[in-house]
Structure 1
């Protein structure tokens, strides 16, 4: 292994090993017959293009550690610029454009970018809000400049390629600041180091046995980084990555078939839509052998539908468990879910997320809402006891950027190491499998004891007319009143008072049949539960709680 830990060096290794293999394929349009046309770069071309861009960034004034906001749509240019920024030693700031204008301004102002590599609209936005970004002097427009500087992508490319020496980085040097989805509070900037990216690549490659020459369609743009580091071709999907629940299944399926995609990553919302479309039209995906889905527990019906689309006997859908601060942690395959754990989930056992990755340690500790100054202060629980999930491993991030209090709350010192508190609750079973029971912040604290969202919601989700549900607490802790809010399947929302009463009685009957949910006496109906932007699947229960309080008072 190289002594250099700049993650961009992994691209160079791929370019040397597979120079003429396609690295990135981008849907450039459609011809008169409606067939896709594609643009592409080989690994050698991607390596050389990012070399030229990196040299241009350095000439612009980028130095090791310079914080640069990257706001470019998924494209050949996005991937080339990502590696170019790494090669130049910059720290990339990645903001989810779907988090809303106020959150974008707040997050960017918090990390104080020294420049923007961005589309014209984002550059115009920067100029209008320039008082919020006083340090942003190194700016590059990707696209036709409009009322912005003349420094653009072509300017960065400069002259013909000549060998470029990647800026040396150590394992612990900063590489990126990636913001959380904000599903349980304001988004926070997670500080990524180059060594963490290396570890993520190795963990994912080795666990899933991903081979060079495979073809991946990633629904999350940054996953192209992992692909290029593994010798895997990236097919940029024709979709808005901020709206996976609105993906056009026909477009994705055509791309998969055009390019012989062997692996695809997407949120449960994306696969829910594609799986339903495939089931309705009796479509198989013959080249696909590995589906990955993360961001929230993947519903059993999604796993079942996606497995039915796969033709290869060894093909499956895998659901890695983790978070922006620590990914991956554990994984389980669809076959195991359907054959072994789904029945337990339906009765309130939580969602099994599988066995931890090799080299990743997981502990369950007693739930605590304050910082823990050392691991000795954490009480480890026995098998089967629900508590906080904490993890340790080379992929776990060390801190939130400029958020010392948040860091102190989320990290537990352990000598020279540390444990990351996932913010989730769960337990380990007698086989060592990890079970997820919900977010700690979403626990409903009643006079009879705590109620855990994922465990309780699964019981009501068994009703064939219910798409998903959310458990919330009304009133003050620890005397909260549990309320279940349900989102019926499309076309099944009860329109009349009689229909609503009938469905309510059926749901309460389900709840009464299980000791975990016998205390729930109130059912509310919601046409579309609020969810996070990134995955379109994490339910904003903290927004639903005040709504529920207004409904029942």
Structure 2
């Protein structure tokens, strides 16, 4: 690749040339008297020019290619323009989900040790108060009003001329971003994204799903839509708290879809559960939506079925599989799930995540909790046998730059290349589809056998009162006591002790009747399972295990 095509920002320049007046971004402001949202708008040409100005302004501050800048700006035109500006200037943006919580957020920033902050006033104020933790943060840009700290503002950066700006010379292996994992299975880790990673992601998504210039996207997760503009796709930002997708107001998704004739949208499983239930009860149809994406956790079939009835007749829902370290790896459609794999999943076969993207390689190896230095240290298992998944490809990130000790646990050297250990367990079927059976760290190892979360939970989830459940283990691996923790649908929550006893008896009978779960005796009810902030979908089993142990201790149950 040439230097320009190694940088995904060059694709924005191409789009601005071919479709200068096309809508790049629409950012909601407020609803008018007629109840319709008013928007701040930006064309592709305007986004190209604005990001050129910002890139030149950042470089004129003395920042050099490779400098790390924490980007803490709310989703909107400013945010997306700054992303492209940093890519053009080859400044490494540090992206941290604010939903990680203040303590994790500060710890992540301190570990990265950025050269500065491009941030809203509140973040700059906190940075100033904690400035001893960020000794290198001497170049700071405020997006909004600057108060009692130094540095410049985004308005001043925009005073720079845009004419003649050229994208910095870029190699595929040059660092582009540091993006943190969700922290759902341990402290968040800073993942290094190279420029080539972003280019490969755009190519994979565009080619696999047939995304075309002129498509209109409504992102329920901002990072997924960062490169819409590089694909010639319009971005319509919804009015929502992106850290709480489960609590989205359905009308704030439905109204812009209708107003803008949105053709595709990404959201977490909990977002589409909320929107789908509303659409079903209100008999809402969204016929312009031909493509829905959902990821972050296995998407329940009932969510797929509801949304399939809402969108275009020839549309579909896709569940791309991957992780912060490697995305996308595989994909499956709702049509395939509902017509084939759902039945097997209900019987405890795991969740089929589909076939791998073109150019991706994967293997299932024997489960091992130790570091594996080279591929020679691995043992590949036969199709149908549960093991841990390893992947290789252009979208697989090379290393962690914080908590670097995790590199030994997650990377396997293979000659000049490497494989990434996904941390997921499952198996490949005869069609080379991967069936996800849970996280490696969440498996429960008893004296008799190993239990995997997703297959066991599927048996429990078949009960009509169960919304979701979680298998946890109490005690040391090899002698763990398995416990199922259940969250019911709100309308099926027991209101009396008798109702609770009746439900638990039904669940115990259901569990005992299946060979996958017959060893599980203990079942507990929980009002609302703890979940991750990013997608509100990944269950924090690490928090549930001590809770379950305490509950059983309170009842005098010793197993």
**Same fold, judged at TM 0.5 (above):** yes
CA distance in 1, matches of 2:335, 2:498: 40
Alignment of 1:400-411 (within 5 A): 400-411=400-411
CA distance in 2, matches of 1:124, 1:159: 26
* TM-score, scaled to structure 2: 0.97
Q: Which structure 2 segments of 5+ residues have no match?
A: 554-559
* Alignment partner, residue 376 of structure 1: 376
* Offset from partner CA, 1:218-266 (integer Å, 9 cap, x none): 1121223221111111111111111111111101110111111100001
* Offset from partner CA, 1:416-459 (integer Å, 9 cap, x none): 11110000001001111110000001000111111000110011
* Alignment partner, residue 101 of structure 1: 102
Alignment of 1:105-124 (within 5 A): 105-124=106-125
SS at match of 1:245: helix
CA distance in 2, matches of 1:166, 1:358: 29
* Alignment partner, residue 459 of structure 2: 459
| Alignment check: 8 A CA contact 1:174 1:194 kept | yes
* Alignment partner, residue 493 of structure 1: 493
* Offset from partner CA, 1:203-229 (integer Å, 9 cap, x none): 010000111110011112122322111
* Alignment partner, residue 285 of structure 1: 286
CA distance in 2, matches of 1:548, 1:234: 43
* Alignment partner, residue 304 of structure 2: 303
CA distance in 2, matches of 1:222, 1:430: 34
* Alignment partner, residue 167 of structure 2: 166
* Alignment partner, residue 146 of structure 2: 145
CA distance in 2, matches of 1:346, 1:336: 15
Are residues 97 and 360 of structure 1, via their aligned partners in 2, closer, same or farther at CA, if it must alter by over 3 Å?
same
| Alignment check: 8 A CA contact 2:272 2:307 kept | yes
* Alignment partner, residue 70 of structure 1: 71
Alignment of 1:341-380 (within 5 A): 341-380=341-380
* Alignment partner, residue 478 of structure 2: 478
* Alignment partner, residue 157 of structure 1: 158
SS at match of 1:491: helix
SS at match of 1:495: coil
Matched, 1:438 2:438: yes
Shift of 1:151: 1.3
Shift of 1:160: 4.5
Alignment of 1:151-300 (within 5 A): 151-300=152-301
CA distance in 2, matches of 1:146, 1:492: 51
| Alignment check: 8 A CA contact 1:140 1:151 kept | yes
* Alignment partner, residue 556 of structure 2: none
| Alignment check: 8 A CA contact 2:269 2:300 kept | yes
Shift of 1:85: 1.1
CA distance in 2, matches of 1:377, 1:150: 51
SS at match of 2:491: coil
* TM-score, scaled to structure 1: 0.98
* Alignment partner, residue 17 of structure 2: 16
Length, aligned pairs only: 552
* Alignment partner, residue 522 of structure 1: 522
* Alignment partner, residue 391 of structure 2: 391
Shift of 1:487: 0.3
Shift of 1:118: 0.3
SS at match of 1:425: strand
Shift of 1:183: 0.5
| Alignment check: 8 A CA contact 1:120 1:148 kept | no
Are residues 422 and 150 of structure 1, via their aligned partners in 2, closer, same or farther at CA, if it must alter by over 3 Å?
closer
Matched, 1:35 2:36: yes
* Alignment partner, residue 557 of structure 2: none
* Offset from partner CA, 1:316-340 (integer Å, 9 cap, x none): 1100000000000100000111110
CA distance in 2, matches of 1:16, 1:375: 46
CA distance in 1, matches of 2:403, 2:14: 35
SS at match of 1:65: coil
CA distance in 1, matches of 2:510, 2:148: 60
| Alignment check: 8 A CA contact 1:141 1:148 kept | no
Matched, 1:414 2:414: yes
Matched, 1:324 2:324: yes
CA distance in 2, matches of 1:324, 1:547: 28
Shift of 1:403: 3.3
SS at match of 2:229: helix
Shift of 1:512: 1.6
Shift of 1:159: 4.1
CA distance in 2, matches of 1:464, 1:223: 33
CA distance in 2, matches of 1:222, 1:18: 23
RMSD, aligned α-carbons: 1.0
| Alignment check: 8 A CA contact 1:284 1:309 kept | yes
SS at match of 1:367: coil
CA distance in 1, matches of 2:477, 2:395: 35
Shift of 1:147: 2.1
CA distance in 2, matches of 1:464, 1:376: 47
Matched, 1:337 2:337: yes
Matched, 1:84 2:85: yes
SS at match of 2:118: strand
SS at match of 2:319: strand
SS at match of 1:172: coil
| Alignment check: 8 A CA contact 2:90 2:168 kept | yes
CA distance in 2, matches of 1:476, 1:160: 63
CA distance in 2, matches of 1:91, 1:347: 46
* Offset from partner CA, 1:383-432 (integer Å, 9 cap, x none): 10000011011000000014332011101111111110000001001111
CA distance in 2, matches of 1:361, 1:259: 38
Q: Which structure 1 segments of 5+ residues have no match?
A: none
Shift of 1:20: 1.4
